Amino acid sequence: MKFVFVFLLSITFFVIFSYPIYNYETILNPNTHVIPTKSYNINFTMLPVGGMQIATNFSFFPKLMIGISYSATNIISYDKPQFSEYPGFLVKILLVEEEDFVPAVSFGISSQGFGAFYDSRYDIKSKGFFVNTSKILYPPLGELLVGGGLNYSIFENVDEKMIDFFCQVEYYPTDNFGLLLEYFPGLDDNSDDNQFGRGVGYFNIGLKWIYEEKLALELDFIDILKNNLTNNGIGRNVKITYTDFF
């Protein structure tokens, strides 16, 4: 009973004293949002298998954001650390702003994948070139973002090239709490041994708490369908995001 009281009190605190902040990505897939003009965004993510990723994004001009990131696994581990071969980068442009009957449309390129880096790729490949669209709907409670897009990875595994697609849902029942869902089939993971994908695709779920406009905490569950055979189970990572203006 005491636990339930503390939990409800905490939720009430967040609802009253928090303000909205939205992702520029759902979990692993980009959405159409860009961070506000003249702002910066710092993400620190604790990855599965003792990994860490840090990303910094900037917006100097309206409708445009750029970012750089780097990741490594086995940092907190007895095993030898595995560092990414190169830093990741992101460029995203909001091509069409959302209006009453017009969905938002964005285009970009991203070289940052997810998880451990092997000889030529990440556990889950980077998006490469992508284009996506989304629309915000207003159910009786909160806001609902529904979106999807196409991508073509160009940075990893040159022998596995194919256009992939993704779809995403972000539901914010309050200004400070979000439920994140996304799916992508991983059509460009088509190796003969099915090492990186057994054909069912990636389904990810995230929970996001937001405190005041600037700070957000996110808990993600990665590959719930266990598509990637190199991992033993469902991945879990924690992301801390700080956003501010300059």
User: Where in the chain are the domains?
Assistant: 2-245
Under CATH, to which class is 2-245 assigned?
mainly beta
- Please state, in angstroms and rounded to a whole number, the distance separating the CA atoms of residues 32 and 22: 11
pLDDT of residue 20: 46
For 158-207, the pLDDT digits (tens) are 667 789 999 999 999 988 899 999 999 998 886 666 677 778 999 999 99
For 175-187, the pLDDT digits (tens) are 889 999 999 999 8
pLDDT of residue 15: 41
pLDDT band at 120 (very low <50, low <70, confident <90, very high): confident
Asked if residue 230 has pLDDT above 60, the reply is yes
Mean pLDDT of 62-74: 95
Question: Under 8 Å CB-to-CB from 113, ≥6 apart: which residues?
Answer: 88, 121, 122, 123, 124, 125, 126, 155, 156
On average, the pLDDT of the chain sits at 87
pLDDT of residue 238: 96
Looking at the chain, the whole-number percentage of residues with pLDDT higher than 90 is: 62
Dihedral sign computed on CA atoms, order 91, 182, 134, 161: positive
Least confident of 17-21, 32-36, 116-120: 17-21
For 53-66, the pLDDT digits (tens) are 999 999 999 999 99
Mean pLDDT of 18-30: 74
Please name the amino acid found at residue 149.
G
